[in-house]
Structure 1
């Protein structure tokens, strides 16, 4: 996609043609950066160099205000979600007298709450202040994590996990929405990769925390080590929630930490990135209806669902690592390198995707690597080969999920209510996979876990199918915009806003 710097006499006619030709309700039209700049009192007289200097200063300010905080919050969010896997190795399941069926039911129940809270939570976020809403739900799930230390039965496990899932539900799509509201289409993929690092870093820290807490805190103050695990993680999460209330920014148009010129610059940046559409346009339920009617929503629902299926190993990674026959301490520690590699790769791939405004191959190539890694993992007992396969498996699925998020918020950049609904619906449907994928990893499948491996491979295949559909849809929409604007490769005109493919 590129912005059109040329103002033409028929621009309004072309814009109207775009709206009639294209099947979506909110389609960016042909509007020049100069026309957008003229709308703002504090910006209209600035030169191009002055705009660029202001933009760099503003982006730096946003980066420091938002990125460290939401990265830390997401790290703790994901840590609280996966901590049960390592607690299981420390005897959590046995101490609570849970069968494998009760354990899997508790894992699945988390995602029932997660599913229920998705759409209403994200729609509520779009209409409230993120610097209030996000810390409040973080405090709620922190309390749920603290309560995990008092569990004695499978029923309590299921209830507690349901509550944590319900409270965590709006967070992941919420910070996706927040990032896409502050950063342009070029900046968005890399910024999402940065906070998405919280996902990978959580898995790294989980292993180290497990090694430190689960191996050395048994019977301290009469508590099991897994109880200390939940208490420490819950307490840290609660403290960060309090800090986030004072640090997080709100929405760009109302953030009190920005000057009037900085607010207008933020508005100007996003209008350029969105092709001239106001992000705040439209009502809540209008956004939901628009999202439901847009084929992109269902394509990205399939992509997100498929990526989550391909990631179904994550709740069982410690158990899979155990089949490599390291001692318990080493099993905790060797979980770190695959996620560290995945994080570095995700950042590099996201930078490339944002720079070249290309998503298809940046999603497909890593997911093919994941499929290769999974195939190695389920076909050999060689420790080195299996560990290499795990590295590939983690790398491709986590990178793919990050880019899917930036892709969907780029092809549907505004209004905010529609974007919020799309992200929430896609994330909501993706969580359905957690209702059945835990049953593909029973302990009877050790050491290969081929049933789970087959599930992962199907997920990888469907990711490729959905990426093809998204690319095809973007191609069709761009072709119609070309026709509406009378653009051809030999017309001599620059193209207006276009869908990323």
Structure 2
């Protein structure tokens, strides 16, 4: 019997627009009765449409988002610091303040996103942050730059969580890993293109129309952002149930396959609909949440070098234009490694060892930065610093939903906690690379190497926890008692519900199979 035929007796679900949860519905298109061959062909056809319509645009929007938040690092090499009279750690503060605004807007934007059309909301916030980013060119002093950077973080906050949530409404969990690899290629490509664009602008546009080259850099990249936003108004789709570029059958099938993947039509679904306080309690009382929070915090802290990378490379002794050009191959290598790591993690359904390998690369790079004075090995260390942190971030991004599949509300709350608290590291991480610490940046490099070790320890601990939890799920499944009595604890109810579906966490490919096994038995 095929995996689709096995689901005929299970509940179909549909998305409730008011809560974005799932509930039982009829199957007017009789998708449950279709053959496996029909599903394979129809699914392939639909995925091609979704990929072509949405994935390149979302990735490019993320690219310009990252370009606008990180171009301050390139502008620094164009005498921004001298022109604005910045001294001490004021440049670090201007970098850090963006993330204060970013964090303050996270929760309101997430709540608003569930009530508006993404095809309107995301391009609109993009226009807003593009205009604000361009206003950096008008800054005349530290106070002006600080105000604009704070507003930029505030305006950029809705995009990343909104885009990630939008992807999760179109793709199954088995499909998300590869799509996240392409989506999160944005930062690496932004740093690569940002360095090349900055090299050209700083070399040829200084004094053009009476403006410094670094001011032109902000203006040009802001115009790029606004142009992409206008294009997105016409191309970006809405959610599967509200989009208008698919036929009625395709819309129904897009909803059906995501509902089957999530399997939220469980007896424990009521727990997802008891309100925000209830799902927040489920999230904060699960100790695994805080291990993921710590891992994400460490990984994002290791990425703060991104916002100072041109200055770090500048310590090799090259000129400003040569320095910007030298950053490009680093980010090309990072982009390629991102794709390789996520392909391997998806292929093997393993997260722990991939994350540890990525962080080991970051640790090695930081140790090389602070301990070696030779130009060649130091540059290699800078490659490793950049290449390790980004794949680790994407691994956590996919590991969390695969560890907490249901209730849906709990999964959403944990994802929000991991991202919000994790991003606080960017606020103080901006002070790890002051200009006074050049060229070795001993404190920053040693700190990142240390948190890398902490992150690896958390990942290994989580792996053992999930292996143990999988064994408990095996035991419940063997016993065959899946009743969810009210007298049971929340954890036991959750465990019985997961065991009923056949779900197992992605702890190790040697012991447990793919997420498809969960789908087959859900």
TM-score (structure 1 length as normaliser): 0.88
Larger RCO (CA within 8 A; separation ≥ 6): 1
Match status 1:364 vs 2:356: yes
| Residue of 245, 249, 255 corresponding to 2:243 | 255
2:346 alignment partner in structure 1:
354
| Residue of 256, 261, 284 corresponding to 1:273 | 261
- Measured in 1, the distance between the counterparts of 2:82 and 2:145 equals 13
1:329 alignment partner in structure 2:
321
Quick one: structure 1 residues 374 and 151, their matched pair in 2 at CA, closer, same or farther if it must change by over 3 Å?
same
Quick one: structure 1 residues 404 and 277, their matched pair in 2 at CA, closer, same or farther if it must change by over 3 Å?
farther
- Measured in 2, the distance between the counterparts of 1:209 and 1:431 equals 27
- Measured in 2, the distance between the counterparts of 1:79 and 1:355 equals 31
SS of equivalent to 2:355: helix
Shift in Å, 1:37: 12
Shift in Å, 1:284: 6.4
1:106 alignment partner in structure 2:
94
Q: CA RMSD in A?
A: 2.8
Aligned positions of 1:379-390 closer than 5 A: 379-390=371-382
Match status 1:282 vs 2:288: no
- Measured in 2, the distance between the counterparts of 1:3 and 1:428 equals 37
Decide whether the 8 Å contact of 1:149 with 1:230 is kept in 2: yes
Quick one: structure 1 residues 181 and 300, their matched pair in 2 at CA, closer, same or farther if it must change by over 3 Å?
farther
Decide whether the 8 Å contact of 2:264 with 2:406 is kept in 1: no
Decide whether the 8 Å contact of 1:342 with 1:395 is kept in 2: yes
Runs of 5+ consecutive residues of structure 2 not aligned to the other structure: 12-21, 481-498, 508-522
Match status 1:308 vs 2:296: no
Decide whether the 8 Å contact of 1:112 with 1:165 is kept in 2: yes
Match status 1:222 vs 2:210: yes
- Measured in 2, the distance between the counterparts of 1:414 and 1:181 equals 15
| Residue of 324, 335, 343 corresponding to 2:335 | 343
Decide whether the 8 Å contact of 1:4 with 1:494 is kept in 2: no
Shift in Å, 1:378: 1.4
Quick one: structure 1 residues 129 and 282, their matched pair in 2 at CA, closer, same or farther if it must change by over 3 Å?
farther
- Measured in 1, the distance between the counterparts of 2:153 and 2:255 equals 34
2:518 alignment partner in structure 1:
none
Shift in Å, 1:476: 3.7
- Measured in 1, the distance between the counterparts of 2:318 and 2:353 equals 37
Decide whether the 8 Å contact of 1:122 with 1:420 is kept in 2: no
Match status 1:155 vs 2:143: yes
Moved more, 145-154 or 467-476: 467-476
Aligned positions of 1:108-187 closer than 5 A: 108-187=96-175
Quick one: structure 1 residues 170 and 397, their matched pair in 2 at CA, closer, same or farther if it must change by over 3 Å?
same
| Residue of 435, 452, 459 corresponding to 1:467 | 459
Moved more, 344-353 or 251-260: 251-260
- Measured in 1, the distance between the counterparts of 2:90 and 2:103 equals 20
- Measured in 1, the distance between the counterparts of 2:280 and 2:336 equals 35
Shift in Å, 1:435: 2.2
- Measured in 2, the distance between the counterparts of 1:414 and 1:429 equals 22
Runs of 5+ consecutive residues of structure 1 not aligned to the other structure: 13-27, 29-35
| Residue of 27, 32, 45 corresponding to 2:33 | 45
1:18 alignment partner in structure 2:
none
Aligned positions of 1:421-440 closer than 5 A: 421-440=413-432
- Measured in 1, the distance between the counterparts of 2:28 and 2:369 equals 57
Decide whether the 8 Å contact of 1:115 with 1:428 is kept in 2: yes
Deviations 1:140-178 (A, max 9, x none): 111111111110011111111110101111212222222
Deviations 1:259-312 (A, max 9, x none): 222223222322333245489963762544443344343222111111011112
2:505 alignment partner in structure 1:
499
Match status 1:407 vs 2:406: no
Moved more, 85-94 or 43-52: 43-52
SS of equivalent to 1:440: coil
- Measured in 2, the distance between the counterparts of 1:8 and 1:72 equals 39
SS of equivalent to 2:31: coil
2:227 alignment partner in structure 1:
239
Decide whether the 8 Å contact of 1:364 with 1:464 is kept in 2: yes
* Total equivalences in the alignment: 473
